[in-house]
Amino acid sequence: MKRQLVLVGNGMAGMRAIEELLTLAPELYDITVFGSEPHGNYNRILLSPVLAAEKTVADIMLHTREWYAENGIALHAGDEVVRIDRARRRVIAKSGFEAPYDRVILATGSNPIVLPLPGKDLPGVVTYRDIADVERMIAASREGKRAVVIGGGLLGLEAAYGLQRRGMGVTVVHLSSTLMERQLDAAAGALLKRSLEERGLEFVMPAQTARILGDERVRGIELADGREVPADLVVMAVGIRPNVALAKASGIACERGVLVNDTMQTFDPRIYAVGECVQHRGACYGLVAPLFEQAKVVANHLAEFGIGRYLGSQTSTKLKVTGIDLFSAGDFTGGAGTEELVFKDAARGVYKKLVVEDNKIKGAVLYGDTVDGAWYFQLMRDGIEINDFRENVLFGQAHVGDSGTSGADAVTLLPETAEICGCNGVCKGDIVKAITKKNLFTLDEVRAHTKASSSCGSCTGLVEQLLANTLGGDYSEAPAKKPMCPCTIYTHEEVRAAIARERLKSIPAVMRFLEWKAPDGCHKCRPALNFYLLCAWPGEYEDDKQSRFINERAHGNIQRDGTYSVVPRIWGGVTSAKELRAIADVAEKYAVPTIKVTGGQRIDLLGVKKEDLPSVWRDLNAAGFVSGHAYGKALRTVKTCVGKEWCRFGTQDSTRLGIRMERVMWGSWHPHKVKLAVSGCPRNCAEATIKDLGVVCVDSGYELHVGGNGGIKVRATDFLCKVATEEEVIEHACAFLQLYREEARYLERTAPWIERVGLSHVRERIVDDAAGRKRLYARFLDAQKHSQTDPWAERAAGLHAEEFAPLEPNVEPEPVS
């Protein structure tokens, strides 16, 4: 017999746990759900747009009654649970219905705080929490003219805005002199107040409400200073309190919320709790992201995986008032030992403040321009030191070594038809529609459903902003600890550390030790693991061909029609008449449709059929060419200018140096492609300052520049150091590449890696620590001993012939038996 699971509380947190459980272990439990509201599960975050007449109740349903029936879940909507009999293991509802249980999830959410004022029970006084409250407010807006909202926090302002959109005159009465004082400082609060006033809201603040006036029904409020404000509707929006009544009555330990451990179990281990009713390590949460993280852990534990732990969340806030951009996160009040970085442009209505402590962001308040909210939040959660880009940090990510255009426009001002994702042609309207219609909450979900931000990723900031604006105050980004892929709970760093520490030497060994969820992983983790193992155990690890992307298996780039491109290595971009003639002969012999000169000074033969690849390579080998690795997460090209051998401005022999470097480095595998360049003078004709590593020759030596990128986001290199000889160039360059491949995550180019770890870190390891640099250089050379075999020659000689030849069917069909 299946075990019995009872969910008390049919809201977002509890139902998310059920959904997660159904994907992990669909057959383990019979599930019964109790909810006090007479509905299916709806998206509480979107109540404000319903109030503001921007959405309907039907728009915000997450699980309809039919959904419960289809999934075999017994739903008791509108039947509140009154008691849990823990001795007899039964949940008892108001109707008298009893449900036996093996496990219970408490997800009773929170209650709005009702101020103990005289007149609080008068008709026309409401709180703001559920669909019934919204319906009461909408009805009141049809009859009455004036509303008072008590409380100028997030919920209060959204209620005020909604009522005003419904045609009421609205006054907000707020205790503090700053709106949303828990999320905003005084300056941002003042800007917010001004723009809400421009929208027609009135404010009385600081002011305390003394009583609610009225006999039959409410007619206004009286303030502590004696002033009266007339009202046909009074909304109390002064905060929420975890709903612990049931837990307390059932003898479960509570403080502010229901106390839980890191597996979300209460003091009775059969009873879990999740969501707003919970108190975990002293903190209560009211935002969606933490609740969803908790739900994952509960589901994981109920499914008996036993590996998920909840470690608490950092949260950020957004206000859901159409046309107002506002973001805050962390501790933004500052104090002893902290510094404040402030940007203020009142005319444009832009205000940004970062609170910094020990070179790290502790908190952020953004008003009017929130494009970089997600970035600051990331820097904050990851504890990144900002000293390397501090002078530009307030201007945003687009100004940190990167002149890309991503996130240049405030997303709220864009029309529905504005193209957000240029790779996949996805417009703002498509994304917003998908978020609301398909109930999406995370960046990954938006990527899966719309394809926006799923190719090059340069629009990620804009998509996150759209998510935040659409979901509003309760949205917060994915958890800080990001697993490698859905097959595992471990991050790239944790996996690499385990490979080294436990001396894991094959993909199955890694998957076994780290309890991979899918038996042979997926297209995301397998290539990453293959690279990590190759990097950790050079010469020892046996490359897993089936875990490489097709380009690295076929040693050519797959094209949109399924043919391949062939790029022979042309050392330093220097070739000869004989080589060119050989390439021309191959192109004619195999009827290559397109010949193209590449940006890296190579010649690309496009449109070669897969079965022809080995013979094309054999012919190129015969002319002295080897693979150019133009298909790999590997060293691609070293681009050079002609240098002092010919150029009247040249200061050093840049072509000779480029060729030398390429001879040392070719064949090396990396987390992503690596492109180098050597320019013979600061005129920089080889464009060395947008390469992963660029050498700029000067009269007195060689400048080394790192972390450039000419791709999705143009990023100029950072200056690393200057050296005197070619030998030093090669030592520094190899050490840099070794550090990159030991530390960067798979598919992370040098530019984002350096922005993540900081240039100071790279300088310390490569420039300041000479002994460490020599060790890195030695490890690079050692690995090269095992990687400098030409993959084309091996395959031209017959290695993996089955990869290139199609199957041959037996021409005589057998009769059907």
Partner 1 sequence: MSWVDVGPVTALPERGARCLKVGSLAIAVFRTSTGAVFALRDQCPHRGGPLSQGIVHGTRVTCPLHDWVIDLATGCATGADEGSTPTYSVRVEEGRVLLELPAEALAKAS
Question: Contact positions toward partner 1, by CB under 8 A?
Answer: 448-449, 455, 518-523, 526-527, 545-547, 549-551, 554, 558, 560, 562, 802-803, 806-811, 813-817
Judged by phi (left if over 0) then psi (alpha if -120 to 50, else beta), residue 451 lies in left
What is the distance between the alpha carbons of residues 431 and 326, in angstroms, rounded to a whole number? 20
The three-state secondary structure class of 247 is helix
Smallest separation, CB 610 to partner 1 (Å): 8
Minimum CB distance to partner 1 smaller for 447 or for 636: 447
d(CA 481, CA 682): 42
Compute the distance between CA of residue 534 and CA of residue 538 in angstroms, rounded to an integer: 6
Alpha-carbon distance of 150 to 235, in angstroms, equals: 6
If the CB atoms of residues 526 and 773 are measured against partner 1, the closer one turns out to be 526
Contact by Cβ (8 Å): 385, 695:
no
Q: Which two tokens stand for residue 252?
A: 């479960």
Report the residue number, 210 or 509, with the smaller CB distance to partner 1.
509
Which residue number, 150 or 554, has a Cβ lying nearer to partner 1? 554
What tokens appear for 332 in the block? 């933004």
Closest CA to 52 of 160, 128, 130, 170: 160
Query: For residues 335 and 809, which CB has a smaller minimum distance to partner 1 in the complex?
Result: 809
Give min distance, CB of 628 to partner 1, in A: 20
Q: Phi and psi for 139 in degrees, rounded to 5?
A: -60, -45
Nearest to 464 by CA among 519, 382, 529, 406: 406
Specify the 3-state DSSP secondary structure of 318.
strand
User: What residues contact residue 313 under an 8 Å CB cut-off, 6+ apart?
Assistant: 285, 287, 289, 290, 293, 476, 479
Give the Cα separation of 660 and 530 in Å (integer). 29
Please, which residue, 417 or 546, has the CB nearer to partner 1? 546
What DSSP state is assigned to residue 10?
Answer: -
Beta bridge pairs of residue 127:
236
Contact yes or no for 794/618 (Cβ under 8 A): no
Report in angstroms how near the CB of residue 811 gets to partner 1 at its nearest: 7
Nearer of residues 96 and 815 to partner 1, judged by Cβ: 815
> What 3-state class would DSSP assign to 716?
coil
Both tokens of 214, joined, read: 């009225």
Residue identified by tokens 């990144």 is 384
Nearer to partner 1, 340 or 520 (CB): 520
Give me the least distance between CB of 813 and partner 1, in Å please.
4
Three-state SS across 647-696?
A: CCCCCCCHHHHHHHHHHHHCCCECCCCEEEEEECCCCCCCCHHHCCEEEE
- Measured from the CB atom, is 226 or 806 closer to partner 1? 806
Rounded CA-CA distance 291/792 in Å is 53
- In total, the chain counts a number of residues equal to 817
Q: Minimal CA–CA distance to 390: which of 378, 399, 382, 377? A: 399
What spatial distance separates the first Cα and last Cα of the chain, rounded to whole Å?
Answer: 44
Give the nearest distance from C-beta 710 to partner 1 in angstroms.
23
Report the amino acid identity of residue 143: E
Between 69 and 448, CB nearer to partner 1: 448
Q: Give the shortest CB-753-to-partner 1 separation in angstroms.
A: 22
Give the tokens for residue 388.
Answer: 């390397």
CA distances to 273, 546, 650 from 75, in Å: 19, 47, 79
Q: Helices marked H in 144-269 — which ranges?
A: 154-165, 186-198, 245-249
Contacts of residue 492, Cβ cutoff 8 Å, sequence gap at least 6: 484, 528, 745, 746
Rounded least distance, CB 674 to partner 1, Å: 22
Of 116 and 809, which CB lies nearer to partner 1 in the complex structure?
809
Cis peptide before 206 (omega within 30 of 0): yes
Q: Which is nearer to partner 1, 169 or 508 (CB)?
A: 508
- Contact criterion met (CB below 8 Å) for 275 and 298: no
Q: Which is nearer to partner 1, 211 or 517 (CB)?
A: 517
Type of residue numbered 231: A
Closest to partner 1 by CB, 626 vs 634, is 634
H or E segment and range at residue 655: helix 654-665
Smallest distance from partner 1 to CB 806, Å = 5
Helix axes of 443-450 and 428-437: crossing angle, nearest 10 degrees: 110
- Shortest separation between residue 18's beta carbon and partner 1, angstroms: 21
Helix axes 525-536, 492-501, angle to 10 degrees: 40
Give the nearer residue to partner 1 in terms of CB position, either 699 or 808.
Answer: 808
Classify strands 90-93 and 81-85 as parallel, antiparallel or unpaired: antiparallel
**Residue number with CB closer to partner 1 (9 or 791):** 791
Residues with Cβ within 8 Å of residue 481, at least 6 apart in sequence: 491
- Which long-range contacts does 250-257 make (Cβ < 8 Å, 24+ apart)? 250/83, 250/84, 250/85, 250/86, 251/86, 252/84, 252/106, 254/279, 255/279, 256/284, 257/284
Least Å distance, CB 732 to partner 1, is 36
Nearer to partner 1, 347 or 816 (CB): 816
DSSP secondary structure letter of residue 265: B
Helix (H, G, I), strand (E, B) or coil at 333: coil
447 or 765: CB nearest partner 1: 447
